[in-house]
Structure formats: C-alpha cells, structure tokens
Amino acid sequence: MGLAFATVTVSMLATGCGGSGSQQGELDTPTKGEIHISVDKTYQPLLESEIRVFQSQYPNAKIIADYKPEAECFKDLFDDSARLIIVTRELKENELEYFKKEKIRPQSGKLATDAIALIVNHNNSDSILTMDQVREIMNGKAQKKWNIVFDDQNSSTVRFILDSINKGQPLPPNTMAAKSNKEVQAHVEKDKDAIGVIGVNWISDTNDSTTIEFSSRVTTVKLRGDGYTDFVKPYQYYIGTKSYPLTRGMYYILKEPRQGLGSGFVTFLSSQPGQLVIGKFKLFPARLNIVFREATLTE
C-alpha cells in the first residue's frame, strides 16, 4: 500500500519556558540540581528516554519522575508535590481560576500529538473496526463479547474514552483495570476476547529509528474515522493529519517562581533533541516543522 510518512526537519517552532508558582529548592538551575516531576504513566517509556538523554547532556541535573494516573499528576501540581507535570490535557477553566486567585501563573504547552491504540489478541479476527463499532464496544452494545482492558481505573485513557467516545456514558461491566500498561499487553496476549486501550508509545518499536512498526506481541487495530474511507493504524502521518481517529495532545504544565530545572527540562523537551525522541516513540512532534514524503510500504 502507498503510505505517506513524516520526516522531521531541523526548523524549530518557538517556545517559551518561563515559570512562576510553587516552592522550589534554592540551588537548582535550568541545567543543575534535582527535581521531582509527575508524569501520566501512559508516557513512561517516552519520558524515561527523554530523561536519560537530558541527564547525559547535563550530568549535574537529576530528574526524578513519578509515573502515575493523570488525576494524581494534577493532584501533585495543586498540592505542590510537583512543579512540573506531563499529562494529556491542558488546565481547565476552573483550574486556571484557582491559580489566578492564588496569584500563580502556570505555563503550559503542547509537546506532541499522541494517539490511543487499541490492541487485540493475534487470534482475534476483528482487528479492523469503524468508529461506530468502537463506540458499541465501549458502551457495551456490541453483539460480540469484548473484555475491555485499561491500565488503571483513573487512567487518562479511561477519561479519553468516557469523554470522547462514550460522551459520558459508563463503561460496560466487562471492563477491567490492569496494574500497568505492560499488564494490559500481557492480558491481551492471553485473552482472545480482550481489547486493550493503551498509549501508542507503549507498543512502538524503537529499535530502528526508521521503522513504523508496532509490538509483535499483540495486533494493533486498524480504525476508520468518521467521514474517512481508509482503515489506518496509529502511524505518525495519520496521527499528525488526524485521519487516525483516537488522537489527543501531550502537554506540560509548569509552575516555577524562577527559571529552575523544570524550565530547563521543558526547554529540552521542546528543542530539536527532545522532539526527535518524541518522534522515535511514534508520537507526532508539536514543535518541529514536518515535511511529508511519499513512500511505498508493504504489510
């Protein structure tokens, strides 16, 4: 099949990383010191790689990331347990109003366009779905038996499905929460009736920077978005053009009273090296200019 894919150029979009807000240590600078951050655990493989690269460039910097459900990341931000969080949504109006009353001006920005991948057992023949079928699975109206598996009941993927797919309707009784994203894959490997809901960076093959394949342990579902004719997987091109229907943003939210290590790490994530790591994990970088080129691929 013919498929366009994204090639990253070195032209960067502008980014600002000033911070204001919560308490922070006296000694840390944008490139030195220690900081705790909270990260939506659907981004764990990506952020582990980002931190390794950052700390290799700045050996006097130490970033300790706590990977947890998104709701807990926001709790850390409001409790001053973390001055930087990496999550899948921006601040809501009531949250912005809270900071305004506290005379705090948090900064936020989009780092990438992310995708939710649906994964099934290799023996499951239903690996090509329309969005109407996805909606029936997620609201429990599908005729076929499906066991829906998330990584955590408070996960950002649960919120995404409830808000964007179910429009507030509850998930069906045959929904379970595994203890981690790895366990979502493990469960799907064993259960031919399971469908896992997972961040795309958890199943991206990063062994080769030119590959666009996914984990061989499970089958990644092809989806047809409303108004589209083609069934596609969450490849970068389809994520970037939104022709893959289950996309969302990846955001940073930062509150620092001065330019500290949180600001330095955000600057790195927004820079060419940080954005190239994002591209390696098959998300669509938000702060690089992208050139699309045609290539012919076989499946």
Same domain, 211 and 168: yes
Is the pLDDT at 7 greater than 60? The verdict is no
Average pLDDT over residues 276-284: 93
In this prediction, residues 138-163 reach a mean pLDDT of 96
Q: Which of 193, 199, 214 is nearest to 40 (CA)?
A: 199
Same domain, 81 and 18: yes
Give yes or no for residue 114 having a pLDDT over 90: yes
Tell me, yes or no, whether 104 and 90 share the same domain: yes
Q: Do 28 and 97 fall into the same domain?
A: yes
**What pLDDT is attached to residue 298?**
56
Name the band, by pLDDT with cuts 50, 70 and 90, for residue 293: low
Give the per-residue pLDDT at 6: 44
**99 and 186 belong to one structural domain:** no
Share of the chain above pLDDT 90, in %: 78
d(CA 237, CA 182): 25
Same domain, 128 and 222: yes
- Residue 11 has a pLDDT of 40
**Domain around 144:** 115-247
Least confident of 14-18, 54-58, 249-253: 14-18
Please tell me the predicted confidence (pLDDT) of residue 189. 95
Q: Are residues 17 and 96 in the same domain?
A: yes
Structure tokens belonging to residue 221: 């579902």
Helices 272-280 and 44-57, packing angle to 10 deg: 150
Its pTM stands at 0.86
Q: In 3-state terms, what secondary structure has residue 271?
A: coil
Domain count, the chain: 2
Please give the pLDDT value at position 181: 92
pLDDT for residue 164 is more than 80: yes
Residue 220 predicted with pLDDT over 50? yes
Judgement on whether residues 108 and 121 belong to the same structural domain of the protein: no
Task: Please indicate, yes or no, whether residues 94 and 186 belong to a single structural domain of this protein.
Answer: no
What is the H or E stretch that residue 137 is in?
helix 131-138
- How high is the mean pLDDT of the chain? 88
CATH of residue 184's domain is 3.40.190.10
For 223, phi and psi rounded to 5 degrees? Answer: -125, 150
- Identify whether residues 232 and 171 lie together within a single domain: yes
Task: Give the other-Cβ count within 10 Å of 45's Cβ.
Answer: 19
22-64 pLDDT, tens per residue? 344 468 999 999 999 999 999 999 999 999 999 999 999 999 9
CB-neighbour burial class of residue 210 (10 A; exposed 0-12, middle 13-18, buried 19+): exposed
Q: 169 and 264, same structural domain? A: no
Of 247, 266, 284, the last residue of a domain is 247
The answer to whether residues 156 and 132 belong to one domain is: yes
